[in-house]
Amino acid sequence: MKANIESIFNEFNHQSKYVGHSELSSGHINDTFLVKTDGTHNYIVQRINHRVFKDVPGLVNNKILTSKHLISKYPNATEQELNKTVLSFVKAKDTAFYYHKENDDFWNVMIFIDHSITHEIVKNPEIAYEGGKLLGDFLNLTSDFDSSLLIDVIPNFHDMSSRYKQYTLSVQNALKERLNKAAKYIQIVADLKEEMHILQNLKKAGEIPVRVTHNDTKISNSLFTKNNKGICMIDTDTVMPGIIHYDFGDAIRTICNSGAEDEKDLSKVEFNLEYYKAYEKGFLEKTNDSLSKTELKYLPLAAKTMIFIMAIRFLTDYLNNDVYYKTNYPEHNLVRSKNQFKLIESFSKKISI
Ligand code: GN1
Ligand code: MG
């Protein structure tokens, strides 16, 4: 749905004049726009998908609480410095941190961190290393965050049993044509199923602690300077209690793929072990002292499990006729899924678990 970004932007309390905007098209759920102004800041204006996120005010509150908690960690920072390291949200004119007209979309606005860039594909081990440090910092800074304040934005988000159940249902209800195209992958899922439940079972048995985690750590959700230094993690939509493995794994899933998540040419999809090691190094430099032996032991399996979770989520959506993720063409979800299965194959040749 086409929205008038200028008028949406002007529903928020900022002291600047809209100059123009462009869409940032990397997300699969929300719609995100960069608004240029004549003032001190440019802004990110975001339409939050209320079909996916059932409680948008609750989600926005989670994001605000997360930023507040992070800000409390820099007691001596000036506002200017904070605006460069933590996501700062802007209130709407009616004083909520989101704008919503009856029966219409929900919007929120945050300050754009100047000179920051994101990477869809990593081409340099330094970015992987810096990315590892960013996640480590995020987990350290949120380790004393009272997670009972947060709502569960999407219940069972990275829960393997419920993802598997959704997948099984989609197989049962799929159109024959789609099912045929997925047949090879349905077999791979069956072969991997047991191993892919190990982390979930350890979590359930209390052998892996639950902490506040980010839950959407794909590398394009981290900001970097043009000189490859990490700035901070963004997209705090899914900050919730979880296990660190999914955060580690989702970052590896995206950093170590030599192609994009939806690269069709599978010969371009290879797992990059050098980047894995660089990310792990940065991550452990920050977290080694605070993680248990069990947490550390399962990092490689975490990477494989997270690639698998995304492989079956994309496959599920393909079998459900593309109701969840944004797609640009009819087989987009199948392409994404095949890509993730190829990544698992390549991962397994390079890392033995
Ligand atoms: C979705 O919309 P985006 O890009 O933030 C998804 C993540 C997936 C990711 C795959 C709420 O994230 O879980 O890892 O696509 N977010 C939700 O690229 O489902
Ligand atoms: Mg997200």
Q: Which of 95, 114, 133 is the last residue of a domain?
A: 114
CA of 147 to the centre of ligand 2 (A): 19
* In-domain check, residue 106: yes
Q: Are residues 182 and 39 in the same domain?
A: no
Q: Are residues 34 and 90 in the same domain?
A: yes
* In-domain check, residue 248: yes
* In-domain check, residue 341: yes
Nearest CA to ligand 1 atom 15: 28
Q: Are residues 70 and 198 in the same domain?
A: no
Q: Are residues 29 and 144 in the same domain?
A: no
Average pLDDT over residues 66-84: 96
Q: How confident is the model at residue 103 (pLDDT cuts 50, 70, 90)?
A: confident
CATH number at residue 18: 3.30.200.20
Q: Are residues 190 and 95 in the same domain?
A: no
Nearest CA to ligand 1 atom 19: 29
Ligand 1 atom closest to Cα of residue 324: 19
Please tell me if the CB atom of residue 218 comes closer than 6 angstroms to any atom of ligand 1. yes
Please tell me if the CB atom of residue 261 comes closer than 6 angstroms to any atom of ligand 1. yes
Q: Are residues 238 and 147 in the same domain?
A: yes
* In-domain check, residue 188: yes
Q: Are residues 185 and 156 in the same domain?
A: yes
Q: Which of 71, 92, 114 is the last residue of a domain?
A: 114
CATH number at residue 220: 3.90.1200.10
**At 44, which helix (H) or strand (E)?**
strand 43-48
Domain extent for 59: 5-114
Q: Is the pLDDT of residue 1 over 70?
A: no
DSSP H helical ranges for 233-350:
244-255, 273-287, 293-297, 299-319, 332-350
Compute the distance between CA of residue 54 and CA of residue 6 in angstroms, rounded to an integer.
26
Q: Is the pLDDT of residue 167 over 70?
A: yes
Compute the distance between CA of residue 132 and CA of residue 342 in angstroms, rounded to an integer.
24
Average pLDDT over residues 23-40: 96
Q: Which of 218, 221, 314 has most ligand 1 atoms within 8 Å of its beta carbon, as the pocket-test mutant? A: 218
Tell me: the pLDDT tens digits for 168-227? 999 999 999 999 999 999 999 999 999 999 999 999 999 999 999 999 999 999 999 999
CA of 177 to the centre of ligand 2 (A): 30
Compute the distance between CA of residue 189 and CA of residue 181 in angstroms, rounded to an integer.
14
pLDDT of the residue at 3: 84
pLDDT of the residue at 94: 83
| Residue in 186, 316, 306, 180 with CA at minimum distance from that of residue 246 | 306
Q: Are residues 166 and 64 in the same domain?
A: no
CA of 191 to the centre of ligand 2 (A): 29
Q: How many CA atoms lie within 13 A of 206 on its CB side?
A: 0
Of the chain, the percentage scoring pLDDT greater than 70 comes to 100
Tell me: the pLDDT tens digits for 291-341? 999 999 999 999 999 999 999 999 999 999 999 999 999 999 999 999 999
Q: Are residues 159 and 245 in the same domain?
A: yes
CB atoms within 5 A of ion ligand 2 belong to 216, 235, 237
CA of 153 to the centre of ligand 2 (A): 11
Q: Are 87 and 232 in contact (CB under 8 A)?
A: yes
pLDDT of the residue at 353: 87
Query: Angle, to 10 degrees, between the axis of helix 299-319 and the axis of helix 332-350?
Result: 160
* In-domain check, residue 145: yes
Nearest CA to ligand 1 atom 17: 29
Q: Any idea which ligand is nearest the CA of 324?
A: 1
Tell me: the pLDDT tens digits for 223-281? 999 999 999 999 999 999 999 999 999 999 999 999 999 999 999 999 999 999 999 99
For the chain, how many structural domains are there in total? 2
Q: Which of 114, 147, 170 is the last residue of a domain?
A: 114
* In-domain check, residue 120: no
Q: Is the pLDDT of residue 2 over 80?
A: no
Q: Are residues 190 and 61 in the same domain?
A: no
**Token pair 């460069």 is at which residue?**
84
* In-domain check, residue 119: no
Q: Are residues 226 and 279 in the same domain?
A: yes
More confident residue, 102 or 35: 35
Ligand 1 atom closest to Cα of residue 218: 14
